[in-house]
Copies of this chain bind each other. A is one copy, B any other.
Amino acid sequence: MVGSLGPNSRKHKVTVVGSGNWGTAIAKIVAENAANSNGIFEEKVEMWVYEEKIEIPETSPHYDASSPLCQGEQNLTDVINKLNENIKYLPGVRLPTNLHANPSLEDAVKDSTILVFNLPHQFILRICDQLKGKILPYARGISCIKGVDVNENGIHLFSETIGKRLGIYCGALSGANIANEVAQEKWSETSIAYDPPHLDSKCPTPHRSPNSSTVDIVEFEHKDTSGQISDVKLQPVPNEYPPVDHALLKRLFHRPYFHASVVNDVAGVSLGGALKNIVALAAGWVDGMGWGDNAKAAVMRVGLLEMVKFGEKFFGATIENRTFTEESAGVADLITSCSGGRNFRCARLSIERNLPVEEIEKTELNGQKLQGTLTAIEVNRFLSKQGLENEFPLFTAVYQILQGKMSVADIPHHLEC
């Protein structure tokens, strides 16, 4: 019996890789659930923190001149662990005491079976390289990085990039969520997509038939159903652990104020978070024109349909239309982004002030870049390389307007069919 404990005799250890605004909010949720999991998860949850020095300012409610923590610069991890608050990235929110901030990536992920990736996407490749060989070979991942990586050569899901680099299966979490609101326990919903290959069976399930992409240049990094991710053979989660399935992920992420729905469609959940930003620009322009709520709803509806079409065309059988039209990561995230998101607001201001969006971006965003303009340009390069611009009139209109080649007033005519 040595080395083969009975089923479910071991608990899942969970590590959140990343501790920014969203990383800390998700770590709070996961730790709340782990604290009360009936033996499914280890109570202690690790959160890897990119270590930095901070000083507690005198204006902080935590400032206490006599406390050692307030004598000059401190490690962010020490501050988080002592105050149970990430005063830099999620100030004012009390974190569960079973959440441990860990400056060592290697130590944080040691023996973890569930890795939650939550970092700005520009850091993810380097982190994966550092993680290689340090994680359990049968670990499972969930990427909370929003959107996808589109360039003229293809579309890459961050979850797949992570999975491929680490030789593990990685799903995705995305939805109509703003970190601060979720951290304050304001109600919202999210979508989790998780659909690992069936390691125990050779027969592919119908909804996961291999991607039927119709264009050659799209190099999806898709798993097949035999447990291979590219050249890496996936390892099954040992059966001493509770199975990592939809029900388990719901237990890990669902809270009374954070309703999680778990689905199979990783591509759909990931794509929604990227493409909605293109639509939000159009909605902002239309709103800025003063055309009223119906025109705004029209442009959102057309945008939603182009999202569906984009998914169908480039992810073929692996995508489900209902992810876009019915999931939080689809229609709800689109609605929120077209209500008050950054892309929407900057686009509206660009009409009101009669300035290009890039000018507004410079004056309003403090050096941050608008996701929508980048995505619109990348998606256009991808579509135009294949001669498919005409099939996506709204995405194309947004690009043309950004390039100064079309005016917002022409949108209705451009969409007429």
Contact = CB atoms under 8 A, between A and B. Distances in A.
A187 interface: yes
A188 B294 contact: yes
Nearest to A325: B325
A259 interface: yes
Contacts of A301: 176, 189, 326-328, 331-332, 335
Interface stretch (A4-12, A51-59, A71-79, A408-416): A408-416
B336 A294 contact: yes
Given A188-B298, A259-B416, A412-B259, A292 B178 contact: yes
A133 interface: no
B186 A298 contact: no
Size band of the A side of the interface?
35 or more
Given A257-B412, A291-B186, A300 B181 contact: no
A256 interface: yes
Contacts of A176: 293-294, 297-298, 301
A251 to B, nearest CB: 14
Interface string A299-336: 01110110010000000000001100111100111011
Interface of A: 176-178, 181-182, 186-189, 256-257, 259, 286, 291-298, 300-302, 304-305, 308, 321-322, 325-328, 331-333, 335-336, 339-340, 411-413, 415-417
26 contacts: A176-B297, A178-B294, A181-B291, A181-B294, A182-B294, A186-B294, A187-B411, A188-B294, A189-B298, A189-B301, A257-B412, A293-B340, A296-B335, A296-B336, A297-B336, A297-B339, A298-B328, A298-B332, A300-B332, A300-B335, A301-B326, A301-B327, A301-B331, A301-B335, A304-B326, A325-B325
